[in-house]
Structure 1
Amino acid sequence: MTALEVDGLTVRHGDVLALDDVSLRLEEGTVCGLMGPNGSGKSTLFGAVMGLVRPERGTVGVLGTTSAAARRRAAVAYMPQAEAIDPDFPIVAHQVVLTGRYAGMGFTRRPRPADRAAVDVALDRVGLTGLADRQIGRLSGGQRKRVFLARAIAQDAPLLLLDEPFAGVDHGTQEEMTRVLRELSEAGCTVLVSTHDIAGVSRLCDRVALLAGRLLADGTPDEVLTPEVLGRVFGLRSAS
């Protein structure tokens, strides 16, 4: 089954052409690394997949429906690069993870036993069960990243979008997150992850897409992560 189908996507931000005729198709269970220089359109592509960015041309299909419909059904989980959480805000780890279940709770947002169980499972998968009641500001940067990954897992979405999840984390945290993401893909979850870590992409991803406004390369890590291809992509828009 096709989890994500981007066809001829063109997006402008004012006078800036952010994406130019980008097409990308991901089958269920694929882990795809999205790489490119700053300003290459990675965040814009995520926004389009989430139904938050209106394209000038082209379409985005998610699990057989539109991106906006998939988002309303909570079929897409998004882990942004930076979380705007006040470290002094009185919220603990399990409460953050519970927000991943809000779409199915209705207006009351009253958690059911299934919601609490999903939170417990997600925290266990990222190795943070013992820190479930720790205030978010008292967690390390890597632990916070794992909390936000647990939130995406708790949502139980078949498509995960992760924006630079390994930025600023130590090697152990990266290895733990890689293991969890591989387990999710083996269970049928599709993952699109933006990253600058070439070595990490080779360990995590089945496919790599190189973006610089246009899609310049798409294939296995061995096919794409060559000096020739990387030099062409990162040299193309090095000033952006």
Structure 2
Amino acid sequence: MARRIDPARRPVIGVLCCNEVADRPIQVVASRFVAPLTHLAGATVLLVPAMPDTADVGTLSAILDGLLLTGSRSHVAPWRYGAAPLPVGQTVDEGRDEVALVLAGRMIEAGKPVFGICRGLQEINVLFGGTLAPAADAARHHRGEGHDDYESLFHHGHDVELSACGRLADATGARRVRVNSVHQQGIDRLGGGLAVEAIDPDDGLVEAVSARPCGADVLGVQWHPEWDAGTAPASRAFFSLIGAGLRGGSGSHSVPTWRTE
């Protein structure tokens, strides 16, 4: 049976936090992930702590209409997909891994949509049994944080090809779009049941995936659509798909125009 959302209320989407330290342990999520979920997807945001001992996934999966796995400065722990430890200087967030994978799995089983951005795409791939590896052409995909200010990281980008008849191609009306690129790792072996939504035409890296295993959308992208969602049509389309998925649909969702300053 198709999931129905009361049109009189805004759907509630969980946004996963990360564990970081700023003089003390804190839960962190960048504000840029939250704003387009409100303005473009028409959702109410509930922040989910990346703390396995406090995140009650049973209750959360019942309350939430959908889940967004955000990007992060940390990586998925390699042991979760059978790989060697990460190079020195690259960090993991074991608490985030645990909450993300368990909660996303529970949401999918309940027929509720799960979306991923950057690390979130990688978590989806691992959840579906796939593996990760360093980006084959690191300079193409990531501009070193030690050499650039924060904003310039998101100005680094390249083109991706969208799969014909895919969700992103349908939502954007395009077969090739330019995206930002701020990641050191990417998909190695694609998870079972995932369809390729976008690919880097130069090095073949999978840049977006989708699935609909239990009647609701699973959609993840390797780039950061939240960064330019107020100005880039392709990024707005991603959040439009989130809005439609939260409401139980699979097509584009009509949203107001929104532009960041």
TM-score, scaled to structure 1: 0.31
TM-score, scaled to structure 2: 0.29
Structure showing the higher strand proportion among its residues: 1
Decide which structure has the larger Cα Rg and report it.
1
